[in-house]
Amino acid sequence: MKPTLIAAALAGCLATPLAAQTAPETPAAAEPAPVSPGGEAPKPETLQQRQERSATKLAGLVIFVANSCPEAQPDYDRFKTVIAAMGVKVDDLSQGLLAVRSAEYTQAYQKEPVESCRRAFENFGEGGRVIPGLIARKAPDATAPGTKQP
């Protein structure tokens, strides 16, 4: 009789945590959607809009690196490939609203140029975490003073 009671107690103890794990969680109270000044909730961003936003950030970064990171250079062929994979035309980034947004990102990166260059290498350099190989280190200039000529 004792072994049966012990077995039943163990089964009950083991089943309780499993039941607790598989029980559906009670949903948290949903927050009301933000309302625009016109009284309408904003429409969710489409995939195309997210891709365009990402492409403008990347274009802004590439322009920043080309102009503000003396030891870096963008790989423009890689940039074009990445942008095309996002479904965005490179020409669209050089005109209209996307060009304006890209310039805004370039200006934002210029607020802290040393940090922005460091993060560009970290995320987009040869071993980058986001898009490896988009940013490369410039080769040393052989004609620069203090460099050895072969």
Q: And the tokens for 5?
A: 């009671």
pLDDT on residue 9? 33
Asked whether residue 36 is assigned to any structural domain, the reply reads: no
Domain that holds residue 64: 47-137
Asked whether residue 13 is assigned to any structural domain, the reply reads: no
Asked whether residue 95 is assigned to any structural domain, the reply reads: yes
Positive or negative CA dihedral for 81, 83, 85, 91?
A: negative
pLDDT on residue 138? 87
Closest Cα partner for 79 from 67, 70, 66? 66
Which residues lie closer than 8 Å to 115 by C-beta, 6 or more apart? none
Q: And the tokens for 88?
A: 């965005």
Asked whether residue 112 is assigned to any structural domain, the reply reads: yes
Asked whether residue 6 is assigned to any structural domain, the reply reads: no
Residue 68 and residue 112 in contact, taking contact as beta carbons nearer than 8 Å: no
Asked whether residue 94 is assigned to any structural domain, the reply reads: yes
Q: And the tokens for 75?
A: 């790989």
Asked whether residue 99 is assigned to any structural domain, the reply reads: yes
Asked whether residue 123 is assigned to any structural domain, the reply reads: yes
Q: How far apart are CA 129 and CA 74, in angstroms?
A: 16
Give the number of domains in the chain: 1
pTM, to two decimals: 0.64
Q: Note down pLDDT in tens along the chain; length 150 residues.
A: 433 333 333 333 333 333 333 333 433 444 445 555 566 666 778 998 999 999 999 999 999 999 999 999 999 999 999 999 999 999 999 999 999 999 999 999 999 999 999 999 999 999 999 999 999 998 776 555 555 544
pLDDT on residue 143? 52
Q: Hey, which bits of the chain come out as E strands?
A: 72-74, 135-137
If DSSP codes are grouped into helix, strand and coil, which group holds residue 121? helix
